[in-house]
Structure 1
Amino acid sequence: MSYTISEAARRMGVAPSTLRYYDKEGLLPNLKRKNGQRIFEENDLRMLALLSCLKNTGMPLKQIHRYVDMVQEGDETIPERYALIKEQRRFIMDQMEQLKYYLSELDFKDWYYRTAMKKGTTEGISLEDYERETGNRTPEMDILEKDGK
């Protein structure tokens, strides 16, 4: 099945200008044209989904270009492509760990302010209360322990 640029953009959840940009940048090297109009096939949509993933996970455009070039070069680049994907995956896993850390701090602040609103004050609310009531620790507690406090 083939799609116009508007149909492909709608399916991908992006603006047609984004697809034009990807094409102009050479990120869709196999894109066909009919009467000057871009025609998107299923393979193009799969590549767009991957490009979107790589872009949205913070991969620099230069690396995305390199990945597309390697795909064009063929199977001899499979180990390099695999390494690039593994590196990006590792990057995302590190980001997820950082976000979990930040989420735990925000969970504490959520509990803290809900508790303060019930009491009408922030006086007497402690990290130990949080741990006792929720069974959770905060990053702050871990930092204080590292400092020997």
Structure 2
Amino acid sequence: MDKIYLNELAKILKINESALRYYDSRGLIPKLQRDKNNYRFILEDDLAFPKTVICLKKTGMSLKEIKKYLDFVEQGDSSIKQRYEMILKQENIVLNKLKDIQEQIEFIEYKKGLYFKKLDK
């Protein structure tokens, strides 16, 4: 298994190393380890954990809720119902954001068309 150090992980996840260090300090990357020189790394097989954190953060989930979700993951199958409910809640939040974005796009397209017609005259 390949080790992925923090700088590489930051590139993979497209976030700053400082954000990863912060997430680590909050216990949000449970599979992060340290080598003999105290450098943080994660095994390639454990990339799902930080990817999950970043994805949930992008959905608007708070770090506190992400930590709760990860704690449920650590509990195993006994917490499937709680995780499912959390994911359903985030899905609803994301779908509402998508609806808002679609409305914004429609407004922009309307204005773009209006201005194009006026420029064309």
TM-score normalised by L of structure 1: 0.74
1:115, distance to aligned residue in structure 2 (A)? 0.6
Greater Rg over alpha carbons, structure: 1
Q: Deviations over 1:99-142 (max 9, x none)?
A: 111211111100100111122xxxxxxxxxxxxxxxxxxxxxxx
Which structure 1 segments of 5+ residues have no match? 120-149
Match of 2:35 in 1: 34
Q: Match of 1:63?
A: 65
Q: Which residue of 2 aligns with 1:114?
A: 116
**Within 1, Cα distance between the matches of 2:83 and 2:45?**
18
Change over 3 Å in CA distance of 1:23–1:43 after alignment to 2:
farther
List 4+ stretches of structure 1 deviating above 6 A. none
Q: Percent identity?
A: 33
> The residue matched to 1:74 in structure 2 has which SS?
helix
SS in 1 for 2:60: coil
- The corresponding residue for 1:80 is 82
Q: CA deviation at 1:44?
A: 3.5
Residue 32 of structure 1 deviates from its aligned partner by 1.8
| CA deviation after TM superposition for structure 1 residue 6, in Å | 1.3
- Tell me, yes or no, if the aligned pair for 1:12 and 1:45 is still in contact at 8 Å: no
Q: Distance in 2 between matches of 1:49 and 1:77?
A: 20
SS of 1:59's equivalent in the other structure is: coil
The alpha carbon displacement at 1:59 in A equals 0.8
1:103 aligned to 96, 102, 105, which one?
105
Q: Structure 2 vs 1, CA of residues 46 and 62 (structure 1 numbering), >3 Å: closer, same or farther? A: same
Query: Does structure 1 retain, via aligned residues, the 8 Å contact 2:31–2:46?
Result: yes
* CA distance, structure 1, for counterparts of residue 79 and residue 44 of structure 2: 23
After superposition, the C-alpha distances for 1:15-73 in whole angstroms (9 at most, x for unaligned) are 21111111101001232222222121124321111111111111111111111111112
Structure with more relative contact order (C-alpha pairs < 8 Å, separation 6 or more): 2
State whether structure 2 residue 19 is matched by structure 1 residue 23: no
Whole-angstrom CA distance in 1 between matches of 2:43 and 2:67 = 20
Asked whether the 8 Å contact 1:9–1:19 carries over to 2, the reply is yes
Name structure 2 gaps, 5 residues minimum. none
